[in-house]
Amino acid sequence: MHMKDKLVTGALLLALVMMAGSAAAAPSMMGGRLDTPGTQKTLTLPPAADHSPVISLGTAVDPQSGKTVSGYAIVHYAKGGVPGKPDKPGGGAVCYAFISKGAVWKTVEPWLINPANNGGLSVNFPFPNMTTDIAKWEDAADGALDNGNSVNILGNGTETSDTLEADLVTPDGDNEVYFADISDPGAIGVTIVWGIFGGPPQGRELVEWDQVYDDADYNWSMYGEADMMDFENIATHELGHSIGLSDLYDSACSEQTMYGYADYGETKKQTLESGDIMGADKLY
């Protein structure tokens, strides 16, 4: 082979390699929507006594107000539960509960979401869906749905490609949502809330919230596929924590959005039920 032929052949091979590499690195199109894998991160939760779904994060100083606040990580587990937190028998239950009575948002703050994930969910879906899910709770805060009235509780969101970090040690002033590998087996999602939860109810308040959705152990769907976790189903539940509501573990409340467990293909938490609406109304 002449030297000129060798150079042409080498150039063609290099071009083919570069094209193959570009194709491998390019995001895929799913149903006409861009699907971009996320950079796998791990959220390692502190150990909890008896695998409690509520983990105390201790106290810290809120950088915005200078107040001493407490933090809690609230873990949403898959159906089947965790040791130490079985379902209670049903019967006459009040189907709402507060993280702490009176602990509400007194200042409207913005929030951030990085939608990149390894769970097969279109990156075009989480931000507008979170916005819709927040609107459900803000609509419910006056005690009725679809009556034209709402309360601005969690503010407006922004989509970002920046690396976000859930705050397990101290609040940082940002309300952040992203996907990662959650260390606890069976954990679908975690909401972290910081605030003042003790003292007179009128002095209690929420000052920060973060959310993480597990994309290492679960695939995520937009349409309630049987072998996936429905994002709207889980996100609507998690946002109940962000406004100040706690989980329910009474089987009489199993149809409420704030019921503590979820399952593959489940979509019933997409809509707010009577207890959810009553709880939001009593808080706000």
- What are the extents of the domains in the chain? 33-283
Rounded to whole angstroms, the Cα distance separating 189 from 43 reads 10
* Distant-in-sequence, close-in-space partners of 136: CB < 8 Å, separation ≥ 6: 145, 236, 271, 272
Q: Measured between alpha carbons, how far is 50 from 55 in angstroms, rounded to an integer?
A: 11
What is the pLDDT, as a whole number, of residue 47? Answer: 87
Question: What is the pLDDT at residue 51?
Answer: 72
pLDDT computed for residue 10 by the predictor: 41
Neighbours of 145 (CB within 10 A): 14
Cα–Cα distance measured from residue 217 to residue 193, given in angstroms and rounded to the nearest whole number: 23
CATH number of 33-283: 3.40.390.10
Q: Which whole-number Å values give the CA distances from 102 to 15, 106, 180, in the listed order? A: 64, 10, 31
In this prediction, the residues of the chain whose per-residue pLDDT falls under 50 are 1-34, 83-84, 89-90
CA atoms within 13 A on the CB side of 147: 11
Say how far apart CA 195 and CA 189 lie, in whole Å: 20
- For residue 180, the cross-strand partners are 214
pLDDT for position 244: 98
pTM value is: 0.85
Average pLDDT, the chain: 86
pLDDT in tens, 73-129: 999 999 875 544 555 544 556 899 999 999 999 999 999 999 999 999 999 999 999
